[in-house]
Structure 1
Amino acid sequence: MVMEASMIVVDNSEWMRNGDYSPNRLVAQNEAVNLIFSSKTQSNPENTVGLMTAAGKGPEVLVTLTTDVGKILSALHGIKASGKPNFLTSVQIAQLALKHRQNRNQRQRIIVFVASPIETDEKTLVKLAKKLKKNNVAVDVINFGEEADNTSRLEAFINNVNNSDNSHLVTIPPGPHLLSDMLISTPIVAGEDGSAGNFGASSGGDFEFGIDPNLDPELALALRISLEEEKARQEAEAAKNGSSSSNTKEGEESSSSMQAEQQHLGGDNVEEDAELQAALAMSMEDAGAPAIPDEDENMEDINEDDALQRALEMSMQDNGENNNDDDEEMMSAVLGSLPGVDKNDERIQKALEDMDKKKKDDKDKK
């Protein structure tokens, strides 16, 4: 089976409150995310999946690439509908998150849920699609809720990102069906071989917890979250009894891996990625991931006049016993040690004169 790292981008905009998909768009989407996560991790034990939102205050990474369904379910449980989504930025941030996958042999895939109007024009979407294709990133889009407005632009996007049929657009109109049921037979869940596996009611087997998620998706999701939270609590309790040092070492190795990857990013599309890296850093801080440094921050942002003034004041402290010649010699040495500083600069000369005058005035007062 194909080994992949997948970032799932969910729509958490105001449109997700609509009830045209049972029981509403947000809950229907959550069930579909759970289905996709299960299909990915069950098809290959080395597959990893991450989760991020597209709306709210802005695109935000909730869970970095993981095989732990508990993290995904807990994050889904806390998502609230608010604001407008940003399809373009969220997809770009998802691509950056995929660059940090620890297993470089994993193929990269972004799975995007779109249930609100896309404001980005088709030309810009096509440009992004071509960039993703060039970087070997596959994209699947689940288009529902506002399909009449979005389908043509999303078709153009998928047509340009598609490489040997590795990307797909699935459009699901509202109806009596469940969103997750409609996804089971699609390539997004079924995969290239068309086998959806054992998921939910379609498997014909026993239901988890004895509850049909198709009839009561909210209860089924709540039960899964409760189970995973209890499992996480027990694991945390066990960790206190001897595994804390091991966890610390693992965290340090993860941080080192992230820092090495950050250095690698420096040469790739810096002009386009700098702002996105900052946005990713802000969102990943909440998820416990190491922050990515802002490449735009450098010494040019420092006020040179203020820095020079501080250097001059420091050089003059506690030197009252020196005569004027010694002071001037010392100042020349200090100024000569500052890179890029011209001692003959009018501002420097004026600063020296002002400080010399102040010193004489202080001496006269004594």
Structure 2
Amino acid sequence: MASILAARQALTVLRSSISSSSLIHRRGLAGASELHGLKNGLKKVDSWKYPKSPFPSKEEHEIIFICVDTSKWMMRLGRYRLQVDCVRVYCRAKLKSNPRNAIGILTMGTLEKTATLETTSDFDEIRTHLRCIRALRGGELDFFEVFNSCADKLDHYPSNPKRFLFFTGGPIDFEMGEAHWYGNKFKEQGVANDVVNFFLDERFANCKMDLDAFVACTDNNNNSLIKHVPADSRTRVRDIISSLVERKKGNNEAEELLS
């Protein structure tokens, strides 16, 4: 806790001395030039046609990091099982849409930080990895630590469209205005962000509002969205994931991807 307080105090000093266009160090987050090497925006790469895909296209392949909540909060009401099922269906749909998409998995529980899967286009490898990670009692949700992990990995993909998909099942400690700040910085770097939020406890209503603000600020032409899933609902996996894959697809095409 002391280290977090110290970091926040340092942030206040840094924000007053560095221009708003710079992405400053925050909870271990690298600066803009170190983060993605994208001062002048994303560079285009060659277009491809993918003969293995049922939907050949000229879309650039996307780099996706899925951040899985392995905290104690996901052990309630079958949330963790639902989360894993969502990740599996999402990955299958993304790779079916474009076999060159690359997907990595990071964990956000404080007791499960080593279960990282480097980017891969092999669905069997993803499915095997999902069987090896789990939510742990006593672990808290460390939403910000994963930013640093993703930043380091995204340095390897300066030219590709990039996306984070966050699954959250517990409270997130955004400070006042911090959600907007993070969202704007990711938008500047061309990183889209999706959130599937299972934590709708009315006692922590500010967490929901902060996540909404984060996604709204990072959104660029509807490339980011948030899905709130009530804990007591019987929402199907397909209902959760369909909105994440159908933005550039017709309804029929999205249905086929999820089949």
Fold conserved (TM > 0.5)?
yes
| RMSD, aligned α-carbons | 2.1
Q: Which residue of 2 aligns with 1:35?
A: 89
Shift of 1:32: 0.2
Aligned to 2:246: 190
Q: Is the 8 A contact 2:194 2:224 kept in 1?
A: yes
Are residues 11 and 94 of structure 1, via their aligned partners in 2, closer, same or farther at CA, if it must alter by over 3 Å?
A: same
Distance (Å, rounded) in 1 between the aligned partners of 2:174 and 2:161:
27
Secondary structure of the corresponding residue to residue 177 of structure 2:
helix
Counterpart pick for 2:238 among 181, 184, 192: 181
1:93 pairs with one of 137, 149, 152? 149
Which secondary structure state, in structure 2, belongs to the residue aligned with residue 169 of structure 1?
Answer: strand
CA 1:180–1:89 in 2, change beyond 3 Å: closer, same or farther? same
Q: Report what 2:69 is aligned to.
A: 11
Query: Which gives a bigger RCO, structure 1 or 2 (Cα 8 Å, sep 6+)?
Result: 2
Aligned counterparts of 1:112 and 1:45: Cα–Cα separation in 2: 22
Which 5+ residue runs of structure 2 have no aligned equivalent?
1-56
Residue by residue over 1:187-232, the C-alpha shift from the partner in whole angstroms, topping out at 9 and shown as x without a partner, is x1223224424356xx4xxxxxxxxxxxxxxxxxxxxxxxxxxxxx
Residue 117 (1) aligns with residue 171 (2): yes
> Which structure shows the bigger proportion of residues in helix conformation?
1
2:34 is matched with none
Pair 4,123 (structure 1): closer, same or farther in 2 beyond 3 Å: same
* Aligned-pair CA distance for 1:67: 0.6
Look up the SS of the partner of 1:87 in the other structure.
coil
- 1:55-105 per-position Cα deviation (integer Å, ceiling 9, x unaligned): 13364451111011222122211212120111122133223322223xx54
Residue pair 2:62, 2:160 contacting (<8 A) in 1 also = yes
Give the alignment partner of residue 108 of structure 2, picking from 31, 34, 54. 54
Q: TM-score, normalised by structure 1?
A: 0.49
Q: Any conservation in 2 of the 1:32–1:179 contact (CA below 8 Å)?
A: no
Q: Kindly indicate whether the alpha-carbon contact (under 8 Å) linking 1:138 and 1:162 is maintained by their aligned counterparts in 2.
A: yes
Q: Which stretch of structure 1 is more off in the superposition, 83-92 or 189-198? A: 189-198
Shift of 1:179: 4.6
Contact kept, 8 Å, 1:7 with 1:111, in 2: the verdict is yes
Q: Unmatched 5+ residue regions in structure 1?
A: 204-366
1:124 CA drift (Å): 2.1
Deviation at residue 120 of structure 1 after TM alignment: 2.3
Offset, 1:126: 2.0
Mapped partners of 1:37, 1:147: distance in 2: 28
Q: How far, CA to CA, are the matches of 1:189 and 1:158 in structure 2?
A: 16
Partner of 1:126: 180
Given that residues 58 and 85 in structure 1 are in contact (C-alpha distance below 8 angstroms), is that contact kept between their aligned partners in structure 2? no
Contact kept in structure 2, 1:47 and 1:106, CA below 8 Å: no
Q: Do the aligned residues in 2 keep the contact of 1:5 with 1:106 (CA within 8 Å)?
A: yes
TM-score where L is the length of structure 2:
0.68
Paired residue for 1:162? 219
- 1:27 and 1:58 map into 2 onto residues whose CA distance is 16
C-alpha distance in 1, partners of 2:170/2:181?
Answer: 21
The one-character-per-residue Cα deviations of 1:208-262 (angstroms, maximum 9, x if unpaired) are xxxxxxxxxxxxxxxxxxxxxxxxxxxxxxxxxxxxxxxxxxxxxxxxxxxxxxx
For the 8 Å contact 2:115–2:133, the answer to whether it is kept is: no
Tell me which amino acid in the other structure corresponds to 1:37: C
**Partner amino acid for 1:6?**
I
Q: Give the letter for the 1:158 counterpart.
A: V
Taking a change above 3 Å as real, the CA distance of residues 60 and 120 of structure 1, as seen in their structure-2 partners, is farther
For 1:122 and 1:160, the matched residues in 2 are separated by: 14
1:208-247 equivalent positions in 2, closer than 5 A: none
**Partner of 2:209 in structure 1?**
152
Q: Which amino acid aligns with 1:94?
A: C
- Answering whether residue 147 of structure 2 is matched by residue 80 of structure 1, we say no
Q: Report the residue type matching 1:107 in the other structure.
A: P
- What is the total number of aligned residue pairs between the two structures? 194
Percentage of matched positions with identical amino acids: 27
Deviating more after overlay: 152-161 vs 84-93: 84-93
> Which amino acid is 1:70 matched to?
D
